[in-house]
Amino acid sequence: MPGKIVFQVLYTSEAGYAFTRDDLALLLAGARRRNAAVDLTGMLVFAQNLFLQVLEGRAEDVLATFARIEVDSRHKNITTLFRGNAPAGRLFAEWAMGFHLIADADDLPAGLVRVHERINLAQFDHLSALEFLSACQRSLAPS
């Protein structure tokens, strides 16, 4: 949405149980379908049972979606890193919800300074989380 104000929510959470790849695929399929319907874009990363997600779009759509996500029993301990207008506009415009699974150190996106071999999605602040999500997005094939 060029020229329009983009609202963004960024959070981390903890999976409520041991997610399988099938669980993740199911979650993602539903998210992409609903997001596409309201022109919501973003990126989701899963590593060591933690989620990191950014949602971007019109404020009312992002907030309505996040309100559903917050009460979803599939995850817990939701920590909001940022909720507000995104100064840089949409960063994930190509993705109704990009997804990157980090199963081991080889899955870490290129171009990141590796402080630890194991990534902890709960360690990020707003800007480092966005940088990490952007690096994950760059590692995805174009949609």
Ligand X SMILES: Cc1cc2nc3c(=O)[nH]c(=O)nc-3n(C[C@H](O)[C@H](O)[C@H](O)COP(=O)(O)O)c2cc1C
- Contact residues toward ligand X (CB under 6 A) are 27, 30-31, 34-35, 44, 51, 53, 55, 65, 68-69, 72, 74-75, 97
The distance of closest approach from Cβ of residue 37 to ligand X in the complex, given in angstroms and rounded to an integer, is: 9
CB nearer to ligand X: give 11 or 109: 11
* Torsional sign, CA 75, 79, 84, 90: negative
The distance of closest approach from Cβ of residue 10 to ligand X in the complex, given in angstroms and rounded to an integer, is: 12
Any idea what the Cα angle at residue 44 is, between residues 36 and 121, rounded to 5°? 160
CB nearer to ligand X: give 16 or 111: 16
The distance of closest approach from Cβ of residue 113 to ligand X in the complex, given in angstroms and rounded to an integer, is: 26
Closest residue by Cα to residue 101 from 9, 28, 36, 33? 28
Tokens 């966005």 label which residue?
A: 130
Tokens at 59, concatenated: 């404020």
